[in-house]
Amino acid sequence: MFQFTAAISRGSSGGAVVNKWGEVIGIVSETRDDGQNLNFAIPVNTLKELILQVGPVTSFPNDASVPGLNKGLPLLLIFLMIGIPTFLVIWFLPMVKFEHWSVAVWVSVGFGLTKMILSGIVRSESFPLGVKSFLSAPPPENVAHALGCENCFLDLLAWIVRFPTYLVFIAVLLGITNVAVKKFELNGFFRTFFVALLIIIGEHALYIII
């Protein structure tokens, strides 16, 4: 580490220290409160070594969607990915009752529009990165390591929680549909979650195919 006297404050850690030519010479690391201008930085050569170890830096994925599998899909395709399985499940399952085929079509369109709008919101630059990371982060490659690592364990836990969270979301949509659409009938807690599960399985299958 090296000491510098440029003025910094709490929160400056991680910022660049530059010379008079604008060249990065270090990364702000810490400051001491028991003196004046006792500021320290990590030399840039150390940073270069770290970059060589981790490889090329990639930008944060901005196309998060549920379920996972970031492939930069157009919103219209996302609409079809949830709309088609929804229609097929509603059409073929006898436990789901509706008076006319148009009801199944409109319910599927509603699910597709909801997913498309939410995906568009998640992709926006103003959407919180923490939530975006929760929706798009892949599972840890080494589960055994993740169980013993505090940071990796949180990633593993987020990945495990993501599926039941999405399942509850689809089940809630079905429940709202059951109340809002008079010609659509799906009664029962377990039936609702079973239908939601089949819709998610169909959506995942389409994601894998594409």
81 & 178 share domain = yes
pLDDT tens figures, 35-87: 777 889 999 888 888 777 776 655 555 444 444 444 567 888 889 999 999 99
Higher pLDDT, 11 or 44: 44
The secondary structure of 91-152, three-state, reads HHCCCCEECCHHHHHHHHHHHHHHHHHHHHHHHCCCCCHHHHHHHHCCCCCCHHHHHHCHHH
- What percent of the chain has pLDDT above 70? 89
46 & 90 share domain = no
Mean model confidence pLDDT for the chain: 83
179 & 119 share domain = yes
Its domain, for residue 204, covers 75-209
25 & 84 share domain = no
Residues with Cβ within 8 Å of residue 3, at least 6 apart in sequence: 38, 39, 40
153 & 81 share domain = yes
Asked whether residue 111 is assigned to any structural domain, the reply reads yes
155 & 193 share domain = yes
Number of domains in the chain: 2
91 & 146 share domain = yes
Asked if 65 and 119 touch (Cβ cutoff 8 Å), the reply is yes
Residues in the chain, total: 210
50 & 83 share domain = no
118 & 34 share domain = no
Kindly report the CATH number assigned to the domain that includes residue 32.
2.40.10.10
With 0.75 as the threshold, say if the pTM is over it. Answer: no
Asked whether residue 60 is assigned to any structural domain, the reply reads no
Highest mean pLDDT, choosing among 31-35, 49-53, 165-169 = 165-169
48 & 130 share domain = no
Asked whether residue 36 is assigned to any structural domain, the reply reads yes
Asked whether residue 59 is assigned to any structural domain, the reply reads no
Higher pLDDT, 140 or 198: 198
- What percent of the chain has pLDDT above 90? 40
